[in-house]
Amino acid sequence: MHHFRYSGHDLHCESVDLAAVARLYGTPTYVYSATTITENYQRLQRSLSGLDLQVCYAMKANGNLALLRLFSNLGAGFDLVSGGEIRRVVAAGGNLRKSVFAGVGKSEAEIKLALENQVFAFHVESEPELARINHVAGTLGVKAPIAIRVNPDVDAQTHAKITTGKSDNKFGIPLRQAGAAYEAAAKLKNIEVKGVQIHIGSQLTSVAPFVEAVKKLVPFVADLKANHGISYFSIGGGMGIVYRDALASGEQAWWSNQPAGQGMITPESYGEALTPLLAPLGLKILLEHGRFMVGNAGVLLTRVEHLKRGASKNFLIVDAAMNDLVRPAMYDSYHEIVPLHRDSSRRALVADIVGPVCESTDCFAKDRQLQEVGEGELLAFMSAGAYGYAMANRYNARLMPAEVVVRGSSFELVNARETFEQTIANEKIPAFLK
């Protein structure tokens, strides 16, 4: 659910007219709803309310400092995958003592940084990484809290590029080898075994893979509790969001377009299915969702440059490009695209919606129908709060977009549009070329 609605003919985020944001800060600009994020976080907490729960926001989805502060104020920890993310949480005033550090290639410097900031635990991906963490902890004279990420070999039934729980993925230690890994960890003098972790992928549209993975792990987790005294079980994240018919409403409208038999995943169905499996363990349960909390809480505003009428199709050229929102180019992802001013009297237009970057893959939608719009008019890419700005880049020497946060009738620029001078600040021309 989210707080993007038409008020009269104009699209609003909460009580703010999005056209006013575009007029003030230009385009492309990301806009986030603080109320949507808050409600998503609280809804997730309520869905597993019978458990000792710790929510760690997976900040890879969106690491904006304002949003990190919002999550921190809500009581969240963070799921971190780099030293840069650790530093961003610290800069935002977040709590590392409630946060976990994941990722398959942690450097010694990153491990040291996490230990110095008293991270709740490392989620260990391999035996060599375990040895590295033990070594770095030894140089600091501390014990490193760890959980091993176990790969349960479960098909998440999601896009091939974002599945992480199959045996041929790079993530985690296979379940059949995990027992030996824990035995080895227990013998390392600078390691404290605290828990176990799984994460099987992103944008899951059914609760069934979550249930399958947890059922596979429950006997193993219970054994670890009995023999190693672990205190928590992290079941990762990955709950999917609404992309189709997102403005309408989302969940029922979207699920009406899904293949039969998948089942509808909501925080409530997720909690209802998993709580009975997790409660008997008597452990703290960690969740590491990202997309679910911020995905539908953000839109990308863009302005129409031209309507180009070709021989066989129309092209609606906008000022946003694949460098601003790479998901359609990278994953063939769908984003609903809507006008900021809705006018039912206008004729329908069918066009490819494309950006100005010099790549054929700079295409947001093919043969998409929307109302006829002209040069200078504004559109919104819905469900762009996750992996939008986080994956944006400077391709074609384009500037990074601006970011705005809305709460109620107030909105504020929280990340100014990049300037050209900023993009070249660290570059130099060598003396031998002068």
- 402: nearest Cα among 60, 24, 91, 87: 24
pLDDT at 153: 80
Average of per-residue pLDDT across 221-244: 94
- 322: nearest Cα among 357, 366, 368, 367: 357
Q: Is the pLDDT of residue 52 over 80?
A: yes
Q: Is the pLDDT of residue 369 over 90?
A: yes
Helices H / strands E in the chain, number of each = 13, 21
Q: What is the 3-state secondary structure (H, E, C) of 180-230?
A: HHHHHHHCCCCEEEEEEECCCECCECCCHHHHHHHHHHHHHHHHHHHHHCC
Residue matched to tokens 């098909």: 155
Residue 395 among known ligand-binding residues? no
- 66: nearest Cα among 91, 101, 41: 91
pLDDT, tens digit, 9 for 90 and up, residues 129-138: 999 999 999 9
* DSSP, residue by residue, 67-104: HHHHHHHHT-EEEE-SHHHHHHHHHTT--GGG-EE--T
The pLDDT > 90 percentage for the chain reads 87
Cβ neighbors of 318 (< 8 A, separation 6 or more) are 302, 303, 304, 305, 353, 354, 355, 364, 379
Q: How far, in Å, CA of 320 to CA of 45, rounded?
A: 35
pLDDT, tens digit, 9 for 90 and up, residues 158-179: 445 444 444 455 568 999 999 9
pLDDT at 259: 40
pLDDT at 154: 75
Average of per-residue pLDDT across 259-265: 48
pLDDT, tens digit, 9 for 90 and up, residues 79-118: 999 999 999 999 999 999 999 999 999 999 999 999 999 9
Q: Is the pLDDT of residue 390 over 60?
A: yes
Supply the angle between the helices 65-74 and 34-47 in degrees, to the nearest 10: 40
DSSP 278: H
Mean pLDDT of the chain: 92
Domains of the chain: 103-287 (3.20.20.10), 296-423 (2.40.37.10)
Residue 327 among known ligand-binding residues? yes
DSSP 375: T
The β-bridge relationship of strands 298-309 and 29-33 is: antiparallel
Q: Is the pLDDT of residue 257 over 70?
A: no
Q: CA of 106: how far to CAs of 110, 133, 146, 343, in Å?
A: 6, 9, 13, 52
pLDDT at 249: 52
Q: How far, in Å, CA of 351 to CA of 373, rounded?
A: 11
Token representation of residue 131: 């040895």
Residue 331 among known ligand-binding residues? yes
Catalytically active residues are 358
